[in-house]
Amino acid sequence: MTREQRIVMAVLTFLGASYVYSTTIMAPLLLQLAAQFGVSAGTAGLTSAAYGVPTIVLGMLVGPYSDRYGRKRFLVSGALLLAASTLAAALAPTFALVVASRFCGGIGAALLGSSMTAALADAVPYRQRGGAIAIVSTGGNLFAFVVGLPLAGIVAEATSWRVSLAMLAALFVVGAAAIARWIPPSHASATVAGVRRLYRLALGDRSALLLLAAALLAGFAWTGWSGYVVVFFQRTFELPQGIASIFTITTGVGFFVGGQIGGRTGDRFGNRSVGIAVLVVAAAAYAAMTPAALPIAAAAALNVVLIALIAARVVTIQVMLSEQVPASRGTLMAIFGSVNAAAAAGGVALAGLAIDIGGFGLFGIVCVILVTTAAALLVFVHERAAVDHDDAVAARAGTLTGAK
């Protein structure tokens, strides 16, 4: 890999870390935010839900135009909009303005999310691209959950939730400057012609629809849990905000380990089988985690296991989707991104409602239902790569038999 490619990868890793951090930063700030504005913890969760709403639609729409007009302008404008909207949220005098600012931040996130992977693909050859994407993605999650969220909680406890948001805004200013300086402009490589046809092709595949539905349902449970994991440790074990935020480190570790294991076991045993298995075990983990009968050390350890299972599910479903409709792969992955955004918005809102009504016990029951249903949907998926492999083996066996 050349020096220029390493620089691009480093910039996009930094930007990806800030991007992931921005989607999760409200988790350690919710109770402090709720207390200041006199709202419930569930209502405070709307600050996270509002952030995901614009990405549901804009993520799919921006992709073709990023191809047509270049990635760089979308990366820079998205980072600057996120910086401005995050700073506006930090300075907002009312809860409604905090929610509105986070909604505007979601627009910037949609501009970024649709172009980061494409910009990396523009710079890195295909044979090196998988490792590069893994570094960018893993780096973002590790930073957000191992460094970012604990730091946000500690800073908020020592000062205010507003300072934590202002620090995030500064990261996006640095990211925008780095993009402008080191990301080369991409050349127009496509037009928006044929977009409707590609969407019809992607959505006409039954297994692809089942995978998208499974991702949505399991995503509701995941984003709800990640959005309230700090609140869980605060309320369940009566921990101060800063100490409770440290438990998000287990989320980062679990996601890294689970993603690696999920990818390797999926390649060996089939992604559909692994996806079903991890969802079933995740349902049991949600059921064991949320009644609050566990010691704190056991809860922290089980959280690592739960997040690892979630990461394995994310990887296996994404791998299956990437091969399900090869002729419309980019379009299907854009739809997948919008499904993840819908899960982020709906999951936090659903979790907040369940927690306000019946506490984490009720939320655990909801998660069990969601992930069990997702596992049932995967049963009916035909994993394209596996089917093609079986057909090839059968054809080869028939040829050998005929030769005899």
Q: In 3-state terms, what secondary structure has residue 188? A: coil
pLDDT confidence of residue 367: 94
Provide the number of structural domains found in the chain: 2
Rounded percentage of the chain residues whose pLDDT exceeds 90 = 31
Does 189 map to a domain? Answer: no
**Cβ atoms < 10 Å from Cβ of 189:** 10
| One domain, residues 350 and 392 | yes
pLDDT confidence of residue 148: 83
| One domain, residues 253 and 176 | no
pLDDT digits (tens, 9 = 90+) for 2-36: 888 888 888 988 998 898 889 888 888 988 999 99
For residue 333, give the CATH number of its domain: 1.20.1250.20
pLDDT digits (tens, 9 = 90+) for 57-87: 776 777 666 666 777 888 999 999 999 999 9
| One domain, residues 45 and 130 | yes
Weakest mean pLDDT among 84-93, 213-222, 267-276: 267-276
Q: Which long-range contacts (CB under 8 A, 24 or more apart) does 171-177 make?
A: 171/18, 171/21, 172/18, 172/22, 172/79, 172/80, 172/82, 172/83, 172/86, 172/108, 173/79, 173/80, 173/83, 174/14, 175/11, 175/14, 175/15, 175/18, 175/79, 176/76, 176/79, 176/80, 176/83
Give the span between the Cα atoms of 207 and 380, in whole angstroms: 7
Local confidence band at 42 (pLDDT 50, 70, 90 cut-offs): confident
pLDDT confidence of residue 64: 63
Sequence-separated (6 or more) residues with CB below 8 Å from residue 176: 76, 79, 80, 83
Among residues 136, 159, 184, which one ends one of the domains?
184
pLDDT confidence of residue 168: 94
Q: State CA 117 to chain mean position distance.
A: 14
pLDDT confidence of residue 283: 95
Among residues 184, 208, 229, which one ends one of the domains?
184
- Give the sign of the dihedral formed by CA 131, CA 133, CA 136, CA 139: negative
pLDDT confidence of residue 151: 86
Among residues 184, 213, 228, which one ends one of the domains?
184
Does 127 map to a domain? Answer: yes
pLDDT of 391 higher than 50: no
Nearest to 338 by CA among 113, 134, 99: 113
Q: Is 359 exposed, middle or buried (0-12, 13-18, 19+ CB in 10 A)?
A: middle
What is the DSSP secondary structure assignment for residue 325, as one 8-state letter?
A: S
Kindly list the distances between the CA atom of residue 47 and the CA atoms of 82, 96, 221, 232, 303, in Å, as whole numbers in the listed order: 14, 9, 18, 18, 24
Q: Give the relative orientation of helices 95-113 and 3-24 as an angle to the nearest 10 degrees.
A: 150
| One domain, residues 160 and 273 | no
Torsion of CA 362, 364, 368, 371, to 10 degrees: 120
Give the span between the Cα atoms of 108 and 85, in whole angstroms: 9
Range of the domain at 221: 194-396
| One domain, residues 115 and 206 | no
Does 310 map to a domain? Answer: yes
Weakest mean pLDDT among 191-200, 211-220, 270-279, 354-363: 191-200
The pTM for the full model equals 0.68
pLDDT confidence of residue 228: 87
| One domain, residues 224 and 147 | no
Does 19 map to a domain? Answer: yes
pLDDT of 299 higher than 80: yes
Nearest to 261 by CA among 192, 301, 206, 315: 315
**Cβ atoms < 10 Å from Cβ of 192:** 12
Weakest mean pLDDT among 280-284, 360-364, 373-377, 383-387: 383-387
Local confidence band at 399 (pLDDT 50, 70, 90 cut-offs): very low
Q: Look up residue 101 and give its two tokens.
A: 């600012």
Sequence-separated (6 or more) residues with CB below 8 Å from residue 398: none
HSE, side-chain direction, 13 A CA sphere, residue 189: 12
| One domain, residues 163 and 202 | no
